[in-house]
Amino acid sequence: MSSRLVSRFTLALAVGLALPFLPGLLTHGVNTDLSARLGLGGAVGLGTFAILFLAGVLTSLTPCVYPLIPITVSVFGARQPEHRARSIGLSATYVGGIALTYSALGLFAALSGKAFGSALSSPVVITVLAVFLVALAASMFGAFDIALPAGLQAKLAGVKGTGYGHALGMGLVAGLIAAPCSGPVLAGVLAFVATKRSAVLGFWMLFTYALGMGLLFFILGATSLRLPRSGAWMETVKSVLGVALVAAAVGLVLPYLPKPHELPVSAREVAIFAGALAFAGVLAGALSLSFHGDRREKLLKAGALVLLVAGIGLEFGWVGSPHSTRPADIAWLHDETIAVNQSRATGRPLLIDFGADWCAACKELDVHTWSDPTVAQEVSAKFVPLKIDATDETEEIERIEKKYAVPGLPTVLMVACKDPEPQCTVPQDGPGRIVGFLPPPEMLEHLRRVE
C-alpha cells in the first residue's frame, strides 16, 4: 500500500471517528458561553474588557482563521533581521484593519439598536449570505478561481513590496473572513451594545475583542516563520474549507426551514452511520482528489463529497433528530402575569427565556438546547417556563425587560416568586442568569445548580 493511500485511510479514519463528537466540540469549544461570561449582566468594567481580549485570542485559534495564517506570514513575515521593523509596522497595521472592522460593527450595532439584529436575521439577507458561502465553497472545490482582472494584476505585479495601505485593507478583509468563528461571542456582545445604544461602549468593546484576535497575526508577522511548500496537502485544506463553507451555509438557512421529522433510530445509531458515511467519503477521495483532474476523478470527487456532506448532515440533524422515548417539548407560557401566578401557586421558580425573531442565538437555543429531551424534562419538572418574544419593541416588552434587567438577547433567567414577597427575586449573576447561547449539557448544569 502506497504512502498516499495510507495517508488517505488515516485521514478517513480520523474524520469518521471524530464526526460523532464534532457537534459537542463545536458547542463546547473555546467560544462556548463566552458571551455569557463577559460580565454583561451588570456594569462593564476592566474585567469585562480583559475577558473580551481573551475571547479574541481564543477565536484566533479556531478554523475560520487558519486560512489567514499563510497570508500573514508570507506577506508580512520578517524574513531578514533588517526587515524586522518594517514587518512589525505592517503587522500592526494589518491588526489595525481587523480592529477597524469590528469597531465599525460595534458602532453600527449601537447606533441602529435592535434594527441591526433584525436586518442581519432577515430571511432575504440570510439567503444571500448562504448563496455567497456556497459560491465560495465551489471556488474552494475548483469550480472557478477568484482572481483580480488581468489589467489590475499587471499593475500590482509592478509594485515592489507591500505598503501600509495594502496591509490595512487586508486587515479589513481578514476581519470579515474570521467573522463565522467570532459569531458566538459577537452575538452576546452586539445584543448588549444594541440594547445600551452607546456608541463609545460599542466601539471599545469590539476594538478590544479585535485586538485579542489580532495578537496571533501580529506575532506571526513580526517573527521569522516558514510554512511547508504547497502540494497535495493544499488540495486537502481547500476541500476541508469548502465542506465547512457548505455546512455553514446550511446552518444559516436551517432555522428558517420546516423542522425535520424524528428518525426511527437512536442517537448512537445515527452517530455510527454518520461516521461510516464520512469515513467512506474521505476514503473515496472527498478531501484528496481534485476537480482539476480528468472526468473520472471529477465524478469520484463529487460522489465522495456527497457521502461526506451526507454524513455531516445526518450527525448535525439536517434530515431529522434521533428517536427518543422522552418528551422533548416544553409547554411555554407567553403571559408574564399568568406565569408569575402559576409560579406562586406551585412554588416552582420561573424560567424566563427572552428572545426575538431577529436573534440568531435565540434560534440556536430553540433548535439545540430547549429541544433536548433531558433539558426539556428538567425544565418541565422543576420550573414554570415563560417565553418573552421581544421581536417588536412595545411598551409592555420594554417594561418587562427593564423589570428583569435584561442586558440583551438571548437572556435566560431563573426567578424565584414566593407568596409572601411582593416582588419576584431576579438574579443579577450566578447560574440563574444566562446571557447568550448555551449547549444542552451546560444549560442542564445551570438548571440543576439553581436552588
Q: Which domains does the chain have, with CATH numbers?
A: 31-149+162-222 (no CATH), 336-449 (3.40.30.10)
In the predicted model, what is the mean pLDDT of residues 25-47?
45
**C-alpha to C-alpha distances, 426 to 340, 399, 414, nearest whole angstrom:** 12, 15, 8
Q: Which of 129-133, 271-275, 277-281, 347-351 has the lowest mean pLDDT?
A: 129-133
pLDDT at 390: 86
At 427, list the grid cell.
Answer: 438574579
pLDDT at 162: 55
**Percentage of the chain surpassing pLDDT 70?**
68
At 265, list the grid cell.
Answer: 433510530
**Percentage of the chain surpassing pLDDT 90?**
14
Q: Residue 433 carries which side chain, given as an amino acid letter?
A: R
350 DSSP β-pair partners = 384, 415
285 has a pLDDT exceeding 60 = yes
28 has a pLDDT exceeding 60 = no
pTM of the model: 0.59
pLDDT at 308: 93
pLDDT at 220: 74
**Angstrom distance (rounded) from CA 121 to CA 190:** 13
Q: Could you report the per-residue pLDDT of 345-400, keeping only the tens digit for each?
A: 888 999 999 988 767 677 778 877 898 889 999 999 999 999 999 877 788 988 99
Q: Could you report the per-residue pLDDT of 194-203, keeping only the tens digit for each?
A: 655 667 777 8
pLDDT at 278: 93
Q: Which of 342, 364, 341, 346 is nearest to 410 (CA)?
A: 364
pLDDT at 31: 33
330 has a pLDDT exceeding 50 = yes
Mean of all residue pLDDT scores within the chain: 75
12 or 87, higher pLDDT:
12
442 or 84, higher pLDDT:
442
In the predicted model, what is the mean pLDDT of residues 174-198?
60
339 has a pLDDT exceeding 60 = yes
320 has a pLDDT exceeding 60 = yes
Number of neighbouring beta carbons within 10 Å of residue 350: 23
Q: Which of 407, 417, 413 is nearest to 432 (CA)?
A: 413
Read off the pLDDT band of 270 (50, 70, 90): confident
Task: Give Dmax (Cα) for the chain.
Answer: 80
At 172, list the grid cell.
Answer: 479589513
Read off the pLDDT band of 185 (50, 70, 90): low
Read off the pLDDT band of 99 (50, 70, 90): confident
**C-alpha to C-alpha distances, 49 to 56, 65, 182, nearest whole angstrom:** 11, 22, 16
Q: Which of 123-127, 332-336, 424-428 has the lowest mean pLDDT?
A: 123-127
436 or 382, higher pLDDT:
382
At 107, list the grid cell.
Answer: 458602532
In the predicted model, what is the mean pLDDT of residues 86-90?
77
pLDDT at 203: 82
In terms of DSSP bridges, do strands 384-389 and 350-355 run parallel, antiparallel, or are they unpaired?
parallel
**Angstrom distance (rounded) from CA 219 to CA 215:** 6
R_g (Cα) of the chain, nearest Å: 24
Contacts of 298 by beta carbon, 8 Å cutoff, 6+ apart: 291
At 395, list the grid cell.
Answer: 411598551
pLDDT at 137: 76
97 DSSP 8-state letter: H
Q: What angle do CA 317, 323, 329 make, to 5 degrees?
A: 85
**Angstrom distance (rounded) from CA 414 to CA 449:** 11
355 or 133, higher pLDDT:
355
In the predicted model, what is the mean pLDDT of residues 281-303?
87
pLDDT at 179: 60
Alpha helices in 38-83 (DSSP H): 46-59, 68-76
At 358, list the grid cell.
Answer: 431577529
What contacts 24+ positions apart, CB below 8 Å, involve 197-203? 197/110, 197/111, 197/113, 198/110, 199/107, 199/110, 199/111, 201/44, 201/110, 202/106, 202/107, 202/109, 202/110, 202/111, 203/103, 203/106, 203/107, 203/110
245 has a pLDDT exceeding 50 = yes
pLDDT at 50: 82
